[in-house]
A and B are shown apart, each in its own frame.
Chain A
Amino acid sequence: MIMTNIKMAQSSIKVSKVRSLLTMLGVVIGVASVVMIVALGEGVKNQVLSQISQLDKNVIAIRPGKAFDVGRTGGITHVNISSAVGTSTLSESDVSSIKALPGITSVSYSAMITGIASTIDAPNYANATIMATLPQNPNVLGQKLEFGEFFGENDMKANTAVIGSNIAADLFKIRDPIGRVMTIRGVEFTVRGVLAINPENPLNIGTNFNNAVYIPVGAGKDLVGNLQISELDAKVAKGYSVNQVSDKIHQTILSNHRGEEDFSIVKQAEYLNATNQVFGLLTNLVAAIAAISLLVGGIGIMNIMLASVSERTREIGVRKAVGATNNQILSQFLIEATVISVFGGVLGVLLSLLTTFAIRLTTTIRPSLSLTTILIATGVSTLVGIIFGMAPAIQAARKDPIEALRYE
Chain B
Amino acid sequence: MSIIKLEHISKVYGFGNATTLALDDISLTVDKGEFVAIMGPSGSGKSTLLNIIGLLDRASQGTYVLDNRNVSRLRSNARAKARRDKIGFVFQSFNLLPRMTVIENVALPLAYRGMTTLRRLHRADQILEKIGLQSREYYYPRQLSGGQTQKVAIARALVNRPSLIIADEPTGNLDSASSEVIMELLSEIHHGENTIIMVTHNPDLTAYANRVIYMRDGRIHQDKDLKKHETADIKELHNAPSVDEEQLIAVRNAKAKKKLAKAAIK
Give me the interface of A with B, judged by CB distance under 8 Å.
Answer: 1, 3-4, 11-12, 15, 314-315, 317-328, 401-402, 405
From B57, B77, B97, B108, give the contact of A325 (CB < 8 A). Answer: B77
Does B81 lie within 8 Å of A314, measured CB to CB?
Answer: no
Cα–Cα, bound, A323→B57 (Å): 13
| B254 CB within 8 Å of chain A | no
Which residues does chain B contribute within 8 Å of A318, judged by CB atoms?
95-97
Task: Name which residue of chain B comes closest to A317, CB basis.
Answer: B95
Does A401 lie within 8 Å of B56, measured CB to CB?
Answer: yes
| B35 CB within 8 Å of chain A | no
| B137 CB within 8 Å of chain A | no
Tell whether A322 pairs with B84 under 8 Å between CB atoms, given A4-B111, A405-B95.
Answer: yes
Task: Name which residue of chain A comes closest to B96, CB basis.
Answer: A318
Tell whether A324 pairs with B89 under 8 Å between CB atoms, given A11-B99, A314-B95, A401-B56.
Answer: no
Which residues does chain A contribute within 8 Å of B156, judged by CB atoms?
322
Does A325 lie within 8 Å of B81, measured CB to CB?
Answer: yes
Which residues does chain A contribute within 8 Å of B99, judged by CB atoms?
11-12, 15
Of B54, B80, B83, B100, most buried by chain A (CB within 10 Å of CB) is B80
Tally of chain B residues near chain A (CB < 8 A): 27
Does A321 lie within 8 Å of B77, measured CB to CB?
Answer: no
Tell whether A322 pairs with B112 under 8 Å between CB atoms, given A12-B99, A327-B77, A402-B57.
Answer: yes
Task: Name which residue of chain A comes closest to B89, CB basis.
Answer: A321
Does A323 lie within 8 Å of B97, measured CB to CB?
Answer: no
Task: Name which residue of chain A comes closest to B168, CB basis.
Answer: A405
Q: Per-position contact with A for B227-261: 1 when CB-CB < 8 Å, else 0?
A: 00000000000000000000000000000000000
Task: Name which residue of chain A comes closest to B166, CB basis.
Answer: A321
Q: Per-position contact with A for B94-122: 1 when CB-CB < 8 Å, else 0?
A: 01110110000000110111100100000
| B76 CB within 8 Å of chain A | yes
Task: Name which residue of chain A comes closest to B117, CB basis.
Answer: A4
Minimum CB–CB distance from A250 to chain B (whole Å) comes to 76
Does B95 lie within 8 Å of A323, measured CB to CB?
Answer: no
From A3, A315, A325, give the contact of B80 (CB < 8 A). Answer: A325
| B194 CB within 8 Å of chain A | no
Which residues does chain B contribute within 8 Å of A4, judged by CB atoms?
111, 117
Q: Per-position contact with A for B41-78: 1 when CB-CB < 8 Å, else 0?
A: 00000000001001011000000000000000000110
Cα–Cα, bound, A319→B54 (Å): 14
Cα–Cα, bound, A405→B97 (Å): 12
